[in-house]
Protein backbone atom coordinates (compact mmCIF):
# COMPACT_ATOMS: atom_id res chain seq x y z
CA UNK A 1 0.00 0.00 0.00
CA UNK A 2 1.33 3.44 -0.89
CA UNK A 3 2.18 5.52 2.20
CA UNK A 4 0.22 8.71 2.82
CA UNK A 5 2.32 11.61 4.08
CA UNK A 6 1.25 14.85 2.42
CA UNK A 7 -1.19 15.46 -0.40
CA UNK A 8 -1.61 18.68 -2.37
CA UNK A 9 -4.35 18.38 -4.96
CA UNK A 10 -7.62 19.66 -6.38
CA UNK A 11 -10.57 19.05 -4.05
CA UNK A 12 -13.92 18.14 -5.59
CA UNK A 13 -17.14 19.25 -3.86
CA UNK A 14 -19.94 16.71 -3.42
CA UNK A 15 -22.44 18.51 -1.13
CA UNK A 16 -24.68 15.51 -0.47
CA UNK A 17 -25.50 13.76 2.81
CA UNK A 18 -25.88 9.98 3.15
CA UNK A 19 -23.77 9.11 0.11
CA UNK A 20 -24.10 5.35 0.34
CA UNK A 21 -21.87 2.64 -1.08
CA UNK A 22 -24.34 1.83 -3.86
CA UNK A 23 -24.04 5.43 -5.06
CA UNK A 24 -20.24 5.18 -4.82
CA UNK A 25 -20.06 1.89 -6.76
CA UNK A 26 -23.40 0.50 -8.02
CA UNK A 27 -24.11 -3.19 -7.42
CA UNK A 28 -23.69 -4.26 -11.05
CA UNK A 29 -19.96 -3.55 -10.79
CA UNK A 30 -19.37 -5.86 -7.82
CA UNK A 31 -18.73 -9.00 -9.86
CA UNK A 32 -14.97 -8.49 -9.82
CA UNK A 33 -12.41 -8.93 -7.06
CA UNK A 34 -9.90 -6.84 -9.03
CA UNK A 35 -9.22 -3.43 -7.52
CA UNK A 36 -8.13 -1.84 -10.79
CA UNK A 37 -10.66 -0.52 -13.28
CA UNK A 38 -13.35 0.31 -10.74
CA UNK A 39 -12.61 4.04 -10.91
CA UNK A 40 -14.44 4.14 -14.23
CA UNK A 41 -17.60 2.99 -12.43
CA UNK A 42 -17.28 5.44 -9.52
CA UNK A 43 -20.60 7.28 -9.01
CA UNK A 44 -21.72 5.71 -12.30
CA UNK A 45 -25.43 6.42 -11.88
CA UNK A 46 -24.71 10.07 -11.11
CA UNK A 47 -21.95 10.47 -13.72
CA UNK A 48 -23.72 8.91 -16.69
CA UNK A 49 -27.10 8.58 -18.34
CA UNK A 50 -28.63 5.06 -18.67
CA UNK A 51 -27.17 4.85 -22.20
CA UNK A 52 -23.65 5.61 -20.91
CA UNK A 53 -23.25 9.28 -21.80
CA UNK A 54 -21.51 11.63 -19.38
CA UNK A 55 -23.74 14.06 -17.48
CA UNK A 56 -21.89 17.38 -17.91
CA UNK A 57 -23.16 18.92 -14.66
CA UNK A 58 -21.84 16.15 -12.42
CA UNK A 59 -18.75 17.41 -10.61
CA UNK A 60 -16.34 14.67 -11.70
CA UNK A 61 -17.27 15.20 -15.35
CA UNK A 62 -16.23 18.85 -15.20
CA UNK A 63 -12.72 19.40 -16.64
CA UNK A 64 -11.51 21.20 -13.50
CA UNK A 65 -12.15 18.11 -11.34
CA UNK A 66 -11.02 15.30 -13.66
CA UNK A 67 -7.81 14.86 -11.63
CA UNK A 68 -9.19 15.60 -8.17
CA UNK A 69 -7.60 13.57 -5.38
CA UNK A 70 -9.55 15.04 -2.44
CA UNK A 71 -13.33 14.77 -2.04
CA UNK A 72 -15.33 17.06 0.27
CA UNK A 73 -18.79 15.71 1.02
CA UNK A 74 -21.68 15.63 3.47
CA UNK A 75 -22.46 13.70 6.63
CA UNK A 76 -22.67 9.91 6.91
CA UNK A 77 -20.47 9.30 3.87
CA UNK A 78 -20.11 5.64 2.92
CA UNK A 79 -23.28 4.40 4.59
CA UNK A 80 -25.23 1.41 3.31
CA UNK A 81 -23.79 -2.03 2.59
CA UNK A 82 -20.25 -2.80 3.70
CA UNK A 83 -18.75 -3.35 0.24
CA UNK A 84 -14.98 -2.82 0.12
CA UNK A 85 -15.38 -2.06 -3.58
CA UNK A 86 -16.39 1.48 -2.52
CA UNK A 87 -12.92 2.56 -1.32
CA UNK A 88 -11.39 0.52 -4.16
CA UNK A 89 -13.35 2.60 -6.69
CA UNK A 90 -12.47 5.90 -5.00
CA UNK A 91 -8.79 4.98 -4.88
CA UNK A 92 -8.73 3.74 -8.47
CA UNK A 93 -10.25 7.03 -9.63
CA UNK A 94 -7.46 8.86 -7.81
CA UNK A 95 -8.94 9.92 -4.46
CA UNK A 96 -6.56 9.61 -1.48
CA UNK A 97 -8.52 11.75 0.99
CA UNK A 98 -12.23 12.07 1.82
CA UNK A 99 -13.35 14.92 4.08
CA UNK A 100 -16.84 14.86 5.59
CA UNK A 101 -18.63 15.59 8.88
CA UNK A 102 -19.04 11.87 9.58
CA UNK A 103 -18.56 8.44 8.03
CA UNK A 104 -20.20 5.04 8.26
CA UNK A 105 -18.02 2.90 10.57
CA UNK A 106 -17.23 0.03 8.19
CA UNK A 107 -16.47 2.32 5.28
CA UNK A 108 -14.25 4.43 7.55
CA UNK A 109 -12.21 1.38 8.53
CA UNK A 110 -11.98 0.14 4.95
CA UNK A 111 -10.49 3.47 3.87
CA UNK A 112 -7.47 2.97 6.14
CA UNK A 113 -7.02 -0.58 4.86
CA UNK A 114 -6.77 0.76 1.31
CA UNK A 115 -4.58 3.84 1.77
CA UNK A 116 -7.33 6.49 1.85
CA UNK A 117 -7.36 9.11 4.61
CA UNK A 118 -10.92 9.84 5.84
CA UNK A 119 -11.11 13.07 7.84
CA UNK A 120 -14.15 13.96 9.96
CA UNK A 121 -14.61 17.67 10.70
CA UNK A 122 -17.33 19.89 12.21
CA UNK A 123 -19.90 21.17 9.72
CA UNK A 124 -18.66 24.77 9.81
CA UNK A 125 -15.20 23.65 8.72
CA UNK A 126 -16.71 21.41 6.03
CA UNK A 127 -18.65 24.44 4.77
CA UNK A 128 -15.40 26.40 4.44
CA UNK A 129 -13.66 23.56 2.57
CA UNK A 130 -16.72 23.07 0.37
CA UNK A 131 -16.53 26.73 -0.55
CA UNK A 132 -12.83 26.32 -1.33
CA UNK A 133 -13.59 23.26 -3.45
CA UNK A 134 -16.13 25.20 -5.52
CA UNK A 135 -13.23 27.17 -7.05
CA UNK A 136 -12.60 24.49 -9.68
CA UNK A 137 -9.01 24.18 -10.84
CA UNK A 138 -8.04 26.71 -8.16
CA UNK A 139 -9.45 24.46 -5.43
CA UNK A 140 -6.01 23.31 -4.29
CA UNK A 141 -5.98 21.91 -0.75
CA UNK A 142 -2.97 20.48 1.09
CA UNK A 143 -3.35 17.68 3.63
CA UNK A 144 -0.42 16.97 5.95
CA UNK A 145 -1.00 13.75 7.88
CA UNK A 146 2.09 14.06 10.07
CA UNK A 147 1.06 17.53 11.28
CA UNK A 148 -2.67 16.68 11.06
CA UNK A 149 -3.35 19.88 9.15
CA UNK A 150 -5.40 20.91 6.12
CA UNK A 151 -4.29 24.08 4.36
CA UNK A 152 -6.76 25.82 2.07
CA UNK A 153 -6.05 27.87 -1.06
CA UNK A 154 -6.09 31.10 0.98
CA UNK A 155 -3.56 29.75 3.48
CA UNK A 156 -6.04 29.04 6.26
CA UNK A 157 -5.24 26.00 8.40
CA UNK A 158 -7.64 23.43 9.84
CA UNK A 159 -6.40 20.77 12.24
CA UNK A 160 -7.94 17.31 12.45
CA UNK A 161 -7.90 14.36 14.83
CA UNK A 162 -6.96 10.81 13.93
CA UNK A 163 -6.37 7.63 15.89
CA UNK A 164 -2.58 7.34 16.42
CA UNK A 165 -2.43 3.70 15.29
CA UNK A 166 -4.38 4.39 12.10
CA UNK A 167 -2.15 7.39 11.46
CA UNK A 168 0.90 5.12 11.57
CA UNK A 169 -0.79 2.63 9.24
CA UNK A 170 -1.16 5.32 6.57
CA UNK A 171 2.20 6.98 7.14
CA UNK A 172 3.95 3.63 6.71
CA UNK A 173 1.68 2.19 4.02
CA UNK A 174 0.79 -0.89 6.07
CA UNK A 175 -2.19 -2.95 4.94
CA UNK A 176 -3.27 -6.01 6.97
CA UNK A 177 -0.58 -8.17 5.35
CA UNK A 178 2.06 -5.52 5.97
CA UNK A 179 1.07 -5.34 9.64
CA UNK A 180 1.45 -9.11 9.95
CA UNK A 181 4.82 -9.16 8.19
CA UNK A 182 6.23 -6.76 10.77
CA UNK A 183 6.29 -9.84 13.02
CA UNK A 184 7.87 -12.01 10.32
CA UNK A 185 10.88 -13.01 12.43
CA UNK A 186 8.71 -14.14 15.35
CA UNK A 187 6.43 -16.08 12.98
CA UNK A 188 9.44 -17.82 11.36
CA UNK A 189 10.83 -18.67 14.81
CA UNK A 190 7.51 -20.14 15.92
CA UNK A 191 7.17 -22.24 12.76
CA UNK A 192 10.73 -23.58 13.11
CA UNK A 193 10.08 -24.62 16.72
CA UNK A 194 6.71 -26.12 15.83
CA UNK A 195 8.28 -28.20 13.07
CA UNK A 196 10.76 -29.69 15.58
CA UNK A 197 8.17 -30.23 18.30
CA UNK A 198 5.46 -31.63 16.00
CA UNK A 199 7.16 -33.08 12.90
CA UNK A 200 3.98 -34.93 11.95
CA UNK A 201 2.14 -31.69 11.14
∠ at Cα 184 (182, 188), nearest 5°? 165
Q: Is residue 136 part of a domain?
A: yes
Q: Number of structural domains, the chain?
A: 1
pLDDT the model gives residue 44: 95
Burial of 136 (0-12, 13-18, 19+ CB in 10 A): middle
pTM of the model: 0.89
Q: Is residue 195 part of a domain?
A: no
Q: Is residue 187 part of a domain?
A: no
> Which tens digit of pLDDT belongs to each residue from 128-187?
999 999 988 788 999 999 999 999 998 899 999 999 999 999 999 987 777 777 767 777
CATH of residue 57's domain is 3.20.19.10
Residue 63's domain comprises: 6-174
Amino acid sequence: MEPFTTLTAVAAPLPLVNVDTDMIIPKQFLKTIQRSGLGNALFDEMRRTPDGKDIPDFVLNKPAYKNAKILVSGANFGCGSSREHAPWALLDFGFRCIIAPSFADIFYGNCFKNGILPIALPQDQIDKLMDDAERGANAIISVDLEKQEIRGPDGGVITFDIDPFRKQILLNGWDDIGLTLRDGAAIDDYEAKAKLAKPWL
